[in-house]
A and B are shown apart, each in its own frame.
Chain A
């Protein structure tokens, strides 16, 4: 997490949020109200979006998050699992000693110091101020350096022509893509489709929120129970953390 958080500003925002919430509906705290971003305002680095995944709640074989992701982004496969786009992969970890297996969804980890951004020759691979790593497909030349650089195998290359894309996820042949943390939803104060689907399926294995806000649900949970980074040795400060590894 960034150390450059302005604490006086934060406490002001917290107070405003409480006042706002009480004014709207006494007794009911609307978390969304405090962080609502008007359409014409740019994102700021006062927030850092992140995700916490509790692997002990993640069932093996369940693909609710993947299904929701495919639907949300219009990811249609061509029956070629080796090259079809996937934003989320279900990875099975097996302890070689005990044989114990656990499944977890693995997607772009939205690293603070992202290798994909470092290696991009055109600046297409970039990070928004709120910590979301994206590909600007307008300037992506499809060199796939970022795919090589990503330690999580999170990015896919679009090999084939795409038609009838969704409004929120323009995608086309010759560019690289990966999980956008549902940036189009986040900008509208909604949670990513995978997190929503996981909650709807009563699995509650995924949590989304602002890592910069110590009072957010995700920060409190991380403070209380912790959350590991995958490949923490690379010191990428990932925004997606895992419990139960």
Chain B
């Protein structure tokens, strides 16, 4: 009888200890910044995008690159323009940050993407190129010295 009592006590004590531990060890879900504004909707429903966004982007990428089709619906630039916005403090997350829209989920799912080794990770208007925004590109500082190729003879 005493053994049964002790066993139940131990089990209860074990459970009491276990619950808070498992609760705090749970991996927190990624925080995703939704685009702001009323009536702002993604190009496809959320569950479709979650599962198939990579296929949409891949398809669009090949069409644009090889055939010159430049529709914006599934373009990566459109995703970035909507989803990557500054936070309350005006800080824009880089793709290396957990707060970045793309990286938030990819880091959670342990998926390494290399889109941003070539593509900009933020909207063009938030890119500072020598103190000027991308829209003022025509006024940007060039690099003439690197391009002079004096003395090259083709004849």
Cβ 8 A contact of B119, one of A42, A92, A170, A188: A170
Shortest Cβ distance from residue A240 to the other chain B in the assembled complex, whole angstroms: 13
Stretch at the interface among A1-9, A13-21, A62-70: A62-70
Stretch at the interface among A26-34, A171-179, A214-222: A171-179
- Which residues of chain A have C-beta atoms less than 8 A from B129's C-beta? 74, 164
Given contacts A72-B137, A167-B120, A175-B118, contact A66 B69 (CB under 8 A): no
Contact A81 B69, beta carbon cutoff 8 Å: no
Interchain CA distance A25-B72 in the complex, whole Å: 30
Contact with A along B44-84 (1 / 0, CB 8 A): 00000000000000000101011111111000010000000
CB-nearest residue of chain B to A127 = B66
- Which residues of chain B have C-beta atoms less than 8 A from A79's C-beta? 146
Shortest Cβ distance from residue B13 to the other chain A in the assembled complex, whole angstroms: 55
- Which residues of chain A have C-beta atoms less than 8 A from B67's C-beta? 42-43, 128-129
- Which residues of chain B have C-beta atoms less than 8 A from A40's C-beta? 69, 71
Instruction: Check: B138 CB closer than 8 A to any chain A CB.
Output: yes
- Which residues of chain B have C-beta atoms less than 8 A from A173's C-beta? 117
Contact with B along A69-113 (1 / 0, CB 8 A): 011101111011100101011111111100000000000000000
Instruction: Check: A39 CB closer than 8 A to any chain B CB.
Output: yes
Given contacts A71-B138, A136-B66, A162-B118, contact A81 B151 (CB under 8 A): no
Interchain CA distance A4-B65 in the complex, whole Å: 24
CB-nearest residue of chain A to B118 = A172
Instruction: Check: A165 CB closer than 8 A to any chain B CB.
Output: yes
Instruction: Check: B152 CB closer than 8 A to any chain A CB.
Output: yes
Cβ 8 A contact of B155, one of A95, A164, A175: A95
Secondary structure of the A side of the interface?
A: loop
Given contacts A42-B69, A93-B153, A172-B118, contact A81 B142 (CB under 8 A): no
Shortest Cβ distance from residue A79 to the other chain B in the assembled complex, whole angstroms: 8
Interchain CA distance A172-B117 in the complex, whole Å: 5
Contact B146 A86, beta carbon cutoff 8 Å: yes
Instruction: Check: A207 CB closer than 8 A to any chain B CB.
Output: no
CB-nearest residue of chain A to B142 = A67
Contact B71 A39, beta carbon cutoff 8 Å: yes
Instruction: Check: B149 CB closer than 8 A to any chain A CB.
Output: yes
Contact A71 B71, beta carbon cutoff 8 Å: no
CB-nearest residue of chain B to A130 = B68
Instruction: Check: B24 CB closer than 8 A to any chain A CB.
Output: no
CB-nearest residue of chain B to A197 = B138
- Which residues of chain B have C-beta atoms less than 8 A from A42's C-beta? 63, 67-69
Shortest Cβ distance from residue A88 to the other chain B in the assembled complex, whole angstroms: 7
Instruction: Check: B144 CB closer than 8 A to any chain A CB.
Output: yes
Which residues of A line the B interface, CB within 8 A? 37, 39-43, 63, 66-68, 70-72, 74-77, 79-81, 84, 86, 88-96, 126, 128-130, 134, 136-138, 161-162, 164-167, 170-175, 183-184, 187-188, 230-231
Which residues of B line the A interface, CB within 8 A? 61, 63, 65-72, 77, 117-120, 124, 127-129, 134, 137-138, 140, 142-155
